[in-house]
A and B are shown apart, each in its own frame.
Chain A
Amino acid sequence: MNSTHLAHPLPTTNRFSFPRSTRPQHPPHSISFRTRPAPFHIRSALNGTLSDTTSVAMSLYDLLGIPETGSLLEIKQAYKQLARKYHPDVSPPELVEENTQRFIQVQEAYETLSDPRRRALYDHHVASGLHLAFAARRNGRFDEEMGDRFEWKDRWESQLSELKRRSVQKESADGMSWGARMRRERNGVQ
């Protein structure tokens, strides 16, 4: 196999694109997690337009659905609970893309808040009114030096998402690989 995925300029269609997923598209599987209902406000927050986070100001605490006074134990529990909900491994195929985004945000929030030093820094910045709510950075990383790059990064990230969205769309349009198409055609002949 030529494993090189040739890079392609953005606007051209690309028939060599690889399937995004190494998992089969099986029917939505329902893994019977004993779901404990999440507090109402996380639900509503997360069901909001996540793809447009720049317009929703959400703190890392909101993201995990815990109060700002939440203990480390609460943070860990909230994280594991949300992971069971949004981790791509337990998401139905049609939600994998969206849930992966959410899982990454939850993960970043957890990483900041479960580290006492980073949590203190985050709290300090929020308290001093700096615009460092989660929504400011789509990838949610908490890093002091990044402030002046936010605007640029947002632009950048939206480009990447667009690129990724297109390649996903393209793939789902084709639905199958070259080999699979060839085989189907071959079988059709028989």
Chain B
Amino acid sequence: MAEPAYTVASDSEAAGEDKTSSPLPEIAIGIDIGTSQCSVAVWSGSGVELIRNTRNQKLMRSYVTFKHEIPAGGVSNQLAHEYEMLSGAAIFNIKRLVGRVDTDPVVHASKCLPFLVQTLNIGVRPFIAALVKNMWRSTTPEEVLAIFLIELKTMAELRLKRPVRSVVLTVPVSFSRFQLTRVERACAMAGLQVLRLMPEPTAVALLYAQQQQNAHENMSSGSEKIAVIFNMGAGFSDVAVSATAGGVSQIKALAGNAVGGEDILLNTMRHLLPDMDSHFSTRGIEEITRMGLLRVATQDAIHKLSSQSIVQIDIDLGGKKICKVLDREEFEQVNREIFEKCESLIKQCLHDAKVEIGDISDVILVGGCSNIPMLQKIVTGVCQKDPYTGINPLEAAVRGAALEGALASGVNDPFGSLDLLTIQATPLSIGVRADGNSFIPIIHQNTTTPVRRDMIFTTVHDNQTEALIIIYEGDRKSVEKNHLLGYFKITGIPPAPKGVPEINICLDIDASNVLRAFAGVIMPGAQNPAAPVMEVRMPTVDDGHGWCAEALNATYGSTLDLVTVQKKGAH
């Protein structure tokens, strides 16, 4: 690929455009953009094929270098040496940064990366830049993602000898709907139309459902198999519990967080160099090089500890030398907190799915961290089962995405290999701010989609004529800790004592996973709504939304507040 096709489509035609006008029944490709690696696959007519790049690689590093005028990603570009990635000119781990503001702890953890991530802690997007000819060249996560996507798309087009337009992308469970809009924007910039954004473990669940379907073709499809899927990559951990029967994979529960191999790496780096942060507080070329050396050596040691119990580490950081023997026990001790978080994530998901340990048929461990012995031990311990071996842990997500791509494109397989269906569930609760600063869920976490739920609220002041509807997504009690999706005002509430007008807020997730909020006012005894019913597609917020919630609070205080009438939701 001599000419990197780096073209960015007009931003004004991003996410929602053109999704209904493509008449082509072409098969959508599946893409897995990992924090560390990315891959692309497609349904080839008889099975899923992973597409290789010109260097015959199926898994490519997720990074973009800004060495020259035109940036180049890890798909087309071959680095002379691993250290080149750590020269300051390469941006990576971008999936951890997309759609996050500079107050986010995950962004703060990314400040140890060998490029510039600067935070002002005011709730705006962080300043991200690569060092190009001793000057900082700023970029955005969307731009970096779009560059990978263009390269992956080009690679698929070369292989398939046809234009590729539509895609199924895997995403972490913990991504908010706001973050999903950023991913959609990156796809739009790359000229790709998103058919589905699939939580990673649900893509694995689909692959598993297909395997079960093939394996038990002649058996009664009545027997339901409960699978627990734990996916841990460099950036995120995800868990799904699925109930599979007859090719239908029903997602019973999802759980995820932004804990990944990167955190294990950072912990271990800090263990080897306790004053690492002060060491690298300035971002000169020297510091970046040293940081890169430490990173590569530590990564290498962690990999070795998966197969051997002890590793010798020697790093020369200019004036400072590190010589250390690290054994597996010490490594596990250093990362104990992370492993505990993984364990509780799995337990929480099992609890939410209301599944008994004894009912579990298979435990599937996937992702870049799946070969860490401690994780295998945890998964085996919690689920009382040895991990399933029928799935390649590094290819599972992209294979599932390619299957979904074929399904969503309406492909028909004569042998029944595509008689599959995933019944998805919401990974996070969605609700509104009410009763002071509380988050009141309307659609609860792990609700099957499509779905429509509503709840009745009322005014908090006498003669309150307006109310602010603020939609959040998350599972924390106070609104600040959840993701703000958007807000709008309903006006024209007839003057009445507080508690009299009934304000109905309805949330609807349709077949395409589009969220809409409806709000209307009814006065007791009236036949019709007192004010026009509002319908708003969510999310509405854009970058810098960190400011919004505070600004709303400062401007309006509690004057436009709501309280719940009917506290009891669906559950």
**B416 to chain A: closest CB distance in Å?**
6
Of the candidates A26, A87, A139, A153, the one whose C-beta lies within 8 Å of that of B24 is A26
User: Are A20 and B24 also in contact (CB < 8 A) when A89-B407, A152-B522, A180-B18 are?
Assistant: no
Chain B interface residue count, CB cutoff 8 Å, equals 81
Interface residue ranges of A152-187 to B (CB < 8 Å): 152-153, 155-156, 159-160, 163-164, 167, 171, 175-180
B412 near A31 with CB under 8 A, answer: yes
A87 near B23 with CB under 8 A, answer: no
**Chain B interface residues (CB < 8 Å from chain A):** 11-25, 166, 181, 185, 188, 193-196, 222, 224, 243, 245-248, 250, 407-414, 416, 418-419, 421-423, 448, 450-454, 456, 486, 488, 502, 504, 506, 508, 510-514, 518, 520, 522, 527-529, 532-537, 539-540, 542, 566, 568, 570
**B194 to chain A: closest CB distance in Å?**
7
A24 near B540 with CB under 8 A, answer: no
B23 near A26 with CB under 8 A, answer: yes
Q: Which of B11, B414, B448 has the most CB of A within 10 A?
A: B448
Between A and B, 5 residue pairs with Cβ closer than 8 Å are A5-B537, A21-B19, A23-B195, A76-B245, A163-B533
C-alpha spacing A30/B411, complex, angstroms: 8
B421 near A179 with CB under 8 A, answer: no
Of the candidates A32, A91, A146, A180, the one whose C-beta lies within 8 Å of that of B413 is A32
Q: Which of A9, A145, A160, A177 has the most CB of B within 10 A?
A: A160
Residues of B within 8 A of A25 (CB): 20-23
- A32: nearest residue on chain B (CB-CB)? B412
C-alpha spacing A76/B408, complex, angstroms: 25
Known A-B contacts: A18-B514, A26-B410, A141-B453. Give 14 more (CB < 8 A): A3-B16, A5-B537, A20-B514, A22-B513, A26-B23, A29-B410, A89-B407, A107-B451, A143-B570, A153-B454, A156-B504, A176-B20, A177-B19, A177-B20
C-alpha spacing A23/B185, complex, angstroms: 16
Q: Which of B195, B224, B511, B539 has the most CB of A within 10 A?
A: B511
B25 near A5 with CB under 8 A, answer: no
**A50 to chain B: closest CB distance in Å?**
15
C-alpha spacing A71/B502, complex, angstroms: 41
C-alpha spacing A150/B565, complex, angstroms: 15
A53 beta carbon closer than 8 Å to chain B: no
Residues of A within 8 A of B540 (CB): 3-5
Residues of B within 8 A of A30 (CB): 412
